[in-house]
Amino acid sequence: MKTHEIALIPGDGIGLDVTDAAADILQVAAGRFGFALNYTRFPWSCDWYLKHGAMMPEDGIETLRGFDAIFLGAVGWPQTVPDAVSLHGLLLPIRKAFCQYANIRPHRLLPGVEGPLRSAGFDILCIRENTEGEYSGAGGRVHQGADNEVAVETSIFTRSGVERILRFGFEQARARRGHLTSVTKSNAQKYSMVFWDEMTERLSADYPDVTVSSMHIDAMAAKMVMQPESLDVVVASNLFGDILTDLGAAIQGGLGFAASANICPDRSAPSMFEPVHGSAPDIAGQNIANPVAAIWSGAMMLEHLGETQAAAAVLAAIEAVTGRGIGIKPGGHGTDVITAAIKAELEAQDAA
Ligand code: IPM
Ligand code: MN
């Protein structure tokens, strides 16, 4: 039997609630489709930081490298560890070290879910650059606390980095409805964003079957609200993609539905799957977190592992359950109730 080795990093807050839910569902899918998921759990988190002075061991990245995929819940517990410390100690280094340069985030309404918009017919795939740009971590501070204090944080856009994410976007568009929207702010940022626009234009020659538009981030934010149905694949830099995908989450009914995959496309290192939402300390451990985003992210993991049928079955089970009105409203059903319903649905598909 084929066994996939999965590193589970529940992390902090509701990361713990939703990781257990997703791991459970994926295990049911594995049983049904004749493969095995072997989970190894890593308690790396803000709690771990308080005991060890780091978010993960020094050889954490090397430990993870041996896995087929990583499933992560959420990182952050600002009451004890500043976010900039916890995120730069765990989540962001994994994305960078494993060259997970394509962060894929689907935005569409699941059956039964009512978003805030009039338009229900949108199906957007956001592709966020995930390793450089505004998140490069290049910068510094001087004269801290003094009147002449200076903070500098430089965005870095490399030709190879921009080219690979744009090509990834073109390929995704080709496999979907054939339209790519590239998002920049080249009217104001005259070096990096003009460069990104030029690369988009240049590469478009290699994808004659894909129609391309370039938009500015501000106009894009409005379009996602006013005409989301006009969008297919959207590609953006790290920070712009981060912001647009919270907007995407909002129009799809909330962060409880927003799934994501951090993909290393050449498969030289493991990819990582995680819901878009954070650790939500205010609702952690109360059995009220919506596990749908995490379970959907798990389906994306199965897809990446080549378990296409199992991935489709998990997604179909989620859709059947939300279609029956379960898990569609914040606080409506408990994490355990939603998880049990999706599990029962998966098992029932089997009998059908
Ligand atoms: C996300 C999150 C992270 C990001 C934070 C927690 C650093 O907001 O995955 O969207 O900005 O990438
Ligand atoms: Mn975000």
pLDDT at 352: 65
Mean pLDDT, the chain, rounded, equals 97
pLDDT at 330: 86
- The 8-class DSSP code of residue 255 comes to G
Residue 68 lies in a domain: yes
- The 8-class DSSP code of residue 110 comes to P
Mean pLDDT computed over 306-322: 98
- The 8-class DSSP code of residue 256 comes to G
- Residue with the smallest CA separation from ligand 1 atom 5 is 87
Residue 44 lies in a domain: yes
Residue 94 lies in a domain: yes
Q: Is 192 helix (H, G, I), strand (E, B) or coil?
A: helix
Residue 241 lies in a domain: no
Task: Give the Å distance between the CA of 133 and the centre of ligand 2.
Answer: 15
Q: At what angle do helices 292-304 and 14-33 cross, to 10 degrees?
A: 40
Task: Give the Å distance between the CA of 2 and the centre of ligand 2.
Answer: 34
Mean pLDDT computed over 134-153: 97
Q: Is 213 a residue whose pLDDT tops 90? A: yes
Task: Give the Å distance between the CA of 242 and the centre of ligand 2.
Answer: 5
In tens, the pLDDT along 171-183 reads 999 999 999 999 9
Residues with CB under 5 A from ligand 2 (ion): 242
Atom of ligand 1 nearest to the CA of 245: 10
Mean pLDDT computed over 47-71: 98
Total-model pTM: 0.97
Total of domains in the chain: 1
Q: Is 350 a residue whose pLDDT tops 90? A: no
pLDDT at 92: 98
Q: Is 18 a residue whose pLDDT tops 90? A: yes
Mean pLDDT computed over 76-80: 98
- Residue with the smallest CA separation from ligand 1 atom 9 is 276
In tens, the pLDDT along 158-167 reads 999 999 999 9
| pLDDT category of residue 4 using cuts at 50, 70 and 90 | very high
Query: Which CATH number goes with the domain that contains 75?
Result: 3.40.718.10
Residue 191 lies in a domain: no
pLDDT at 66: 97
Domain hosting 271: range is 1-104+254-352
Confirm if 72 and 42 have CB atoms less than 8 A apart: no
Which distant-in-sequence residues (6+ apart) come within 8 Å of 340 by Cβ?
none
Residue 60 lies in a domain: yes
Task: Give the Å distance between the CA of 246 and the centre of ligand 1.
Answer: 10
In tens, the pLDDT along 217-265 reads 999 999 999 999 999 999 999 999 999 999 999 999 999 999 999 999 9
pLDDT at 76: 98
Residue 119 lies in a domain: no
- Select from 16, 31, 98, 4 the least CA-distant residue to 310: 31
Q: Is 119 a residue whose pLDDT tops 90? A: no
Residue 41 lies in a domain: yes
Q: How many residues does the chain have?
A: 352
pLDDT at 331: 83
Q: Is 28 a residue whose pLDDT tops 90? A: yes
